[in-house]
Chain A
Amino acid sequence: GAVVSQHPSWVICKSGTSVKIECRSLDFQATTMFWYRQFPKQSLMLMATSNEGSKATYEQGVEKDKFLINHASLTLSTLTVTSAHPEDSSFYICSAREAGTVMNYGYTFGSGTRLTVV
């Protein structure tokens, strides 16, 4: 089955530094990847949608200069949290979708990254 690898699984960083999270589709080409944020006991909040080779589309209220998304290849998307602050501490999850499908390889989620900013 489709596998999406996300790492690191957890990271602790100092306030003011930047953190990069990687999301890779291992056995399919992901033309679209999604980045979510999840607070404890809450549902997933979509942050942005990225299509390979083009700029990401950010949801309302998400700062694009703070959450930099790069989707340079069909198997890799990265989310960089720039100048992280404690309020950015959260669980970040990526999801990848293969072109031309709704299910099967579509919408496979990574295992998430727990970011703690101290």
Chain B
Amino acid sequence: QKEVEQDPGPLSVPEGAIVSLNCTYSNSAFQYFMWYRQYSRKGPELLMYTYSSGNKEDGRFTAQVDKSSKYISLFIRDSQPSDSATYLCANLPRRGGYNKLIFGAGTRLAVHP
């Protein structure tokens, strides 16, 4: 079992839709949870991070963590064609390997006009 599971998609939605991207993880030692966005042939850029259960909002993006079920989500409201990219969830353990990000497979999202 992979430490971080993420459906690779692809996910295709119309402009304006609410997008839900999800990951599950198996290691309860994970403390920090991140979402990265990667455009084609570019490096990933950090979208959001959180370290506690609950919701964190930033503009059209909401990150949600449920540590009890080991489930993390990213919601995109009013999706735009410019949101078309691959979204990667990433986790960090609490200690012992603290500096190595564990990535999910990435979900490819296409938002069509």
Interface residues of A (CB under 8 A from B): 4, 6, 32, 34, 41-44, 46, 49, 91, 93, 95, 97, 102-103, 107-112, 114
Q: Mark B1-22, 1 if CB is under 8 A from A, else 0.
A: 0000000100000000000000
Q: Chain B interface secondary structure, helix, strand, loop or mixed? A: loop
Tell me the smallest distance from the CB of B4 to a CB of chain A, in Å. Answer: 9
Partner of A107, one of B42, B101, B106: B101
Q: Chain A interface secondary structure, helix, strand, loop or mixed? A: strand
Contact B43 A42 (CB under 8 A): no
Tell me the smallest distance from the CB of A12 to a CB of chain B, in Å. Answer: 15
Count of chain B residues with Cβ under 8 Å from any Cβ of A? 22
Contact A43 B101 (CB under 8 A): no
How many A-B contacts at CB < 8 Å in the complex? 48
Tell me the smallest distance from the CB of B39 to a CB of chain A, in Å. Answer: 10
Tell me the smallest distance from the CB of B31 to a CB of chain A, in Å. Answer: 9
Contact B43 A93 (CB under 8 A): yes
Q: CB-nearest residue of chain B relative to A38?
A: B38
Contact B46 A108 (CB under 8 A): yes
Contact B99 A32 (CB under 8 A): yes
Once the chains are docked, how many angstroms separate the CA of A44 from the CA of B108? 14
Partner of A6, one of B41, B43, B105: B43
Chain A residues with CB below 8 A from B78, complex form: none
Enumerate 18 A-B pairs (CB-CB under 8 Å) in ascending A order.
A32-B99, A34-B100, A41-B108, A42-B105, A43-B103, A43-B106, A46-B100, A46-B101, A95-B43, A102-B92, A103-B49, A107-B34, A108-B46, A109-B36, A109-B43, A109-B45, A111-B43, A114-B41
